[in-house]
Amino acid sequence: MSSGIEEVPHLLLLLLLSPLVAAAFFYFFFVIWCFQYQRKKTGRRRRLPPGNMGWPFLGETIPYLKPHSAMTVGDFMKEHVSRYGKIYRSNLFGERTIISADAGLNRFILQNEGRLFECSYPRSIGGILGKWSMLVLVGDMHRDMRTISLNFMSNARLRTHLLPEVEKHTLLVLSSWNNNSLVYAQEEAKKFTFNFMAKHIMSMDPGRPETEKLKKEYITFMKGVVSPPFNLPGTAYRKALQSRSSILKFIERKMEERVESSNGDRRKVEDDDLLGWVLKHSDLSNEQILDLILSLLFAGHETSSVAIALAIYFLQASSQALHHLREEHFRIAKRKKERGDETALCWDDYKQMDFTQCVINETLRLGNVVRFVHRKAIKDIRFGDYEIPSGWKVLPVFTSVHLDPSLYEEPQRFDPWRWQKGIRGCSSSSSSSSGSCFMPFGGGPRLCAGSELAKLEMAVFLHHLTLNYRWELAEADEPFVFPFVDFPKRLPIKLQPPPPPPPTTTTTSYFT
């Protein structure tokens, strides 16, 4: 006859023999019950979008940032939209997040900046760009900084001052190219935009030792911006922080020289560049000016150079689009010659670049230089069938909208003519408003202050490029997301002499 203790299940025996284990056992199930109860209670109160929160803390950040072709949304977005729909939840960058591939929600988020949502970039971005950077500022301070930038890059200033400077720096780069030679187009585009921004911001001339030294520090700085934010010795992030310090000291010396040359009176500083304009026309502190200058150098250099490289890449693969573009610029050059005006481009010339604007729009749509932005809900918000809780991060993903086949016919195809057919390129059958399915520069109160300047840079560069060169890829390369758009091989192209102008058109090289 067996004893009673032998009939007790092993788990129960363990619990009876170990009160500590028993307490842990019941505590575990109590926590699970509380979690389930809270989830049911929350579900009755609000309906969150479907999704998967992934691993603790890391969530799904790593697969979300996995490199992929810039002309696609990437496997993560593709799989999640297919499984959950265009609006879903996840855990990204250590925060509970709503991801939107929906044109309507994206527009709703950007248009309600400051009322329902606010900018919310990871802390590491603020650490490297500065707490007064326009990218991370919110509220009145961001509005004031943006107003300063808009005033300096006004339409009048684009016409009278910036257009000649853009053309000058374009010709400086392109005139150094030789037929039948190889150049790295992305590096050349970066050289163009950096030299222009250095002149535009601080009146620094290209090629001079101080300009080259600043460029070297800036390259180190940029490598850290796109690297993991590990502030450890030897890391790209630590080196970037050191370069940031060097760049700010350089800008500060420039500020001190300007003020000293004006007998210590900021109001008497010459305002022919951005640094002088801010010193003279604003009440910003030195620290605020330093972060503003650095953030504008970052924004004006990096995004414009990538956009130009993308245009070069897309055009070499589309002979029809390139031919149509070249004809437009031959016509502009011909009209200038007939007027006896073979000098610099004027504003009227720029406004005649209709197909060029289509090429620019299509480049920005398909290449997606800015793929998403970081926002945070500051109130509980209802959108359609879903609720977005206060404090949750929200990511409007522009790429998913720009490559949405329900909005754009054959979205992976480079087709500048689509911008002549539909409403701002969107499918006429789309229920989305034209302003929500094309947002390469964001939207709402935080619409990129330099958007018109960026399009001017692209148009002028393409004008002189198509008149003076043909090009083809020297070896296979394509844009990838790392997490910013980049060409792994720096886009090597082989240059060739330009084709003869059309029979009814004559032109001459702008380099002679």
Instruction: State the binding site for heme.
Output: 448
Q: What is the SS3 string spanning 411-474? A: CCCCCCCHHHHCECCECCCCCCCCCCCCCCCCCHHHCCCCHHHHHHHHHHHHHHHHHHCEEEEC
Question: Which residue type does 38 have?
Answer: Q
User: Please, which residues have CB within 8 angstroms of residue 74's CB and are 6 or more apart in sequence?
Assistant: 66, 68, 481
Evaluate whether 99 touches 87 at the Cβ level (below 8 Å): yes
Specify the residue for token string 């949304």: 73
Q: Which residues have C-beta within 8 Å of that of residue 170, sequence separation ≥ 6?
A: 192, 460, 461, 464
* Tokens matching residue 169: 């720096």
* CA dist., res. 475 & res. 477, Å (int): 6
Whether the CB-CB separation of 468 and 175 falls below 8 Å is answered with no
- Helices 354-367 & 451-468, crossing angle to 10 degrees? 110
Question: 378: which residues sit within 8 A by CB, 6+ positions away?
Answer: 116, 117, 118, 390
Phi (first) and psi of residue 481, to 5 degrees: -100, 120
Residue 49 in 3-state DSSP?
coil
Sign of torsion over alpha carbons 291, 294, 296, 302:
negative
* Secondary structure of residue 91 in the 3-state scheme: strand
The enclosing H or E element of 383 equals strand 381-383
Phi first, then psi, for residue 113 (nearest 5°) are: -60, 130
Tell me if 393 sits within 8 A of 96, measured CB to CB.
yes
Q: How many CB atoms lie within 10 A of CB 389?
A: 16
SS3 of 100, please? strand
The Cα angle at residue 70 between residues 65 and 76, in degrees rounded to 5:
40
Q: Which two tokens stand for residue 304?
A: 């414009």
